[in-house]
Amino acid sequence: MELLNGQVAIVTGGSQGIGREIGQVFAEQGATVVISDINEQGAEAAAKELRDAGFNAKSIKCDVTEAADVENLVSQTMNEFGRLDVMVNNAGITRDATMRKMTIEEFNQVIQVHLLGCWLGTKTAADYMREQGSGSIVNLSSISGKVGNIGQTNYAAAKAGIVGLTKSAAKEVGFKGVRVNAIQPGLIKTAMTAAMPADIFAAREKEIPLGRAGDPRDIANAALFLGSELSSYITGVVLEVAGGRHI
């Protein structure tokens, strides 16, 4: 059974890492997937990979901090496919530094991409989904938004803000059949964590009750659950996918 058969999904920040894996899993489950990224070539490469494997996919360039770009992303998807069933707000960046060294520009960049980008994606998708009478919005927060991390006052603040945004939006649009939920990934094996010093990565991995770092597919499967009818009576929740770290 394909959990997203005949449905249409957008994944922002879908050219690599967790976003790319979400696109892959959604396609495997029958969805037409729109891969969106500010990196136009990367988005098209991800979409082509899906098409070459026999799935339905296309790419649309989008800067999630620009309202016009987000509106174009959603409206173009609606015009071409006639519906939008799942919106995954995944795009993000890091500009890590301690507070003493972090610049205002570095703080604002992260807030803009993560928090404003998520708000624009949620707002725009919800506008269309309300008229449709159904839809699921999945926002990517982080366990950092729950517990904080040294050198991530900007990132943790943005990711905590996504939790409040998600809960508030869920209360606003639930009566129209639109669900809004969030995922908080823990330590996941991505290009970003691969750049961590091996000893620091190993120390953090030891803190995980399940004894291992997560794989991008672990997050993609959670997104699939929240995007599909398996979670049809779930909205406004924050799903920690962290192997038990920080419980």
Alpha carbon distances (Å) from 60 to 5, 12, 13, 14, 34? 21, 9, 11, 10, 7
What string of DSSP letters covers the chain? --TTTT-EEEEETTTSHHHHHHHHHHHHTT-EEEEEES-HHHHHHHHHHHHHTT--EEEEE--TT-HHHHHHHHHHHHHHHS---EEEE---------TTT--HHHHHHHIIIIIIHHHHHHHHHHHHHHHHT-EEEEEE--THHHH--TT-HHHHHHHHHHHHHHHHHHHHHGGGTEEEEEEEE-SB-SHHHHTS-HHHHHHHHHT-TTSS-B-HHHHHHHHHHHHSGGGTT--S-EEEESTTTT-
Residue with tokens 């517990």, as numbered in its chain: 147
Kindly report the CA angle at 88 between 86 and 93, in degrees rounded to 5?
A: 170
155 is catalytic: yes
Which of 31, 125, 155, 170 does the annotation list as catalytic? 155
86, β-bridge pairs: 9, 136
Residues taking part in catalysis: 155
